[in-house]
Amino acid sequence: MAEIIDGKKIASQIKEEAKQRAAELKNAGYRIALAVVCVGDDPASGIYVRNKKKACADIGIESLSYELPEETTQEELLALIDKLNRMEECSGILVQLPLPSHIDENAVIRAIDPAKDVDGFHPENVGALCIGQPGLVPCTPAGIIELLKRSGIEIEGKECVVVGRSNIVGKPMALLLLRENGTVTVAHSRTRNLEELCRRADILIAAVGRPRIITKDYIKEGAVVIDVGIHRNEANKLCGDVDFESVKERCSAITPVPGGVGPMTIAMLMDNCVQAVFMAHEKEKGGKAPDGDRE
C-alpha cells in the first residue's frame, strides 16, 4: 500500500517557516507586501485571488489589491505594473492569469521587475533557473521538490519522467529535477509510447491536464507518483491526471487530489514573497540579510 503524501501538512510547515522568516525580516525593518492584480471577473480567478490574500494575512504579508475591469487596455495594465515596480512598499507582484484575450500575457510578464516576480515567470528568472543561478522559481514545481524532499524521497540519480511541458509546470519541473541530479525525460502530446516511457520512471510527475489519463499500466512497481492535475469528475468531485485508486496499488508513494500538490502552490507563493525581500536586500547590502536561504 502506497504512502499518501500529505500536501496539506507539508504546506502548513512551509507557511509556518515563511511566517517566521517574514517576522524576522519585518523586525529588521523590511516591508513585505504582495500586489495582486486581477483583470476581469473570472470566477475561478476570484477564488484564487481570495485564497492568496488570506494566505498573506495568515503569514503577516501585506496585500495590495488591484481589481481592474475586463475592458482594461494593455497600456493601462502595463502602466500599473510600472507603478508597482517603482513602488518601494510593494515587494512582490502577481498578475492573475489568464488575462482577457486582448492583452498579451508575455508582454505583461516581461514588464514585471524580475526581483518582484513572485510567480517566477519572467524570462530573467526562467533563464536563471536554466543556468543554475539564484532567482525566483515557479511555485507549483518548487512545491513538488519540497514535497519530495520532505517526504524523504531521494531525487539524485533517479529516472524522472515529467508528462507536460508547459511554462508554468512541466518545463520548470524538469529543470528543478535536473538541478537535484535526477535523470529527466519530458513527455508531451507528441510523445510516442507514453505508457512505456512512464513505466521507466522512479519518479513520475503528471502535469497533463487530462483527467485520470495515468492509469496503473503507466506505473513501475514502487514508483513515486506526483499528480499536478486538477479536474472535476462526473460526480463534480475533484480528481487529478492520475487514476488514484488503481495507481496507489502499484506505487510506493502518491499525492492525492485534493490535498497533494494544490496546497503547496500557495505555500510556495508565500515563500517566494519572503524570498523576494530577502534576495533584494541581500543584493542591496552586498552581504547577508537576516536568516539564511533554505538551501
Cell of 219: 506505473
Angle at which helices 139-150 and 7-27 cross, to 10°: 110
User: Binders of ligand NDP: how many residues, by CB under 6 A?
Assistant: 24
237 in active site = no
Determine phi and psi for 248, rounding to 5 degrees.
Answer: -65, -20
The rounded distance, in Å, linking the Cα atoms of 224 and 134 is 28
Task: Quickly tell me which residue has 495582486 as its cell.
Answer: 36
User: Using CB under 6 A, which of 91, 96, 125, 140 touches ligand NDP?
Assistant: 140
Interface residue with ligand NDP, options 43, 75, 190, 285 (CB under 6 A): 190
Task: Between 59 and 147, name the residue whose CB sits nearer to ligand NDP.
Answer: 147
293 is catalytic: no
Question: Cell 512545491 appears where?
Answer: 143
Structure letter (DSSP) for residue 263:
H
Q: Is 208 in the site for ligand NDP (CB under 6 A)?
A: yes
User: Do residues 236 and 211 touch, judged by C-beta distance below 8 A?
Assistant: no
Q: Which of 209, 216, 238, 282 binds ligand NDP (CB under 6 A)?
A: 209
Choosing from 103, 262, 273, 289, the residue that interacts with ligand NDP (CB under 6 A) is: 262
| 207 makes contact with ligand NDP (CB under 6 A) | yes
Do the Cβ atoms of 161 and 141 come closer than 8 Å?
A: no
CA distance 214 to 225: 10
- Amino acid at position 227, single letter: D
**Known catalytic membership, residue 119:** yes
Among the listed residues 15, 52, 116, 158, the single catalytic one is 52
213-252 mask for ligand NDP (x: CB under 6 A)?
---------------xxx----------------------
| Residue whose C-alpha is closest to residue 250's, from 216, 200, 281 | 216
Residues in 150-189 that interact with ligand NDP by CB under 6 A: 163-166, 168-170, 187-189
Supply the DSSP symbol for 100: P
CB of 283 to ligand NDP, least distance (A): 29
Pairing assessment for the beta strands 159-163 and 183-187 based on DSSP bridges:
parallel
**Which residue of the chain is nearest ligand NDP when measured via CB?**
166
CA neighbor of 176 nearest in space, from 213, 221, 226: 226
Nearer to ligand NDP, 65 or 189 (CB): 189
Q: Considering the complex, what minimum distance in angstroms separates the CB of residue 65 from ligand NDP? A: 21
Reading the block at residue 63, the C-alpha cell is: 496585500
Closest CA to 170 of 191, 193, 200: 191
Binder among 210, 246, 282, 291 for ligand NDP (CB under 6 A): 210
CB of 83 to ligand NDP, least distance (A): 28
Cβ at position 199, least distance to ligand NDP in Å: 14
Cβ at position 228, least distance to ligand NDP in Å: 4
Shortest Å distance, C-beta 168 to ligand NDP: 5
- 209 sits in the region (left: phi over 0; alpha: psi -120 to 50; else beta) called left
Catalytic (active-site) positions: 52, 96, 119
Q: Which residues bind ligand NDP (CB under 6 A)?
A: 140, 163-166, 168-170, 187-191, 194, 207-210, 228-230, 261-262, 265
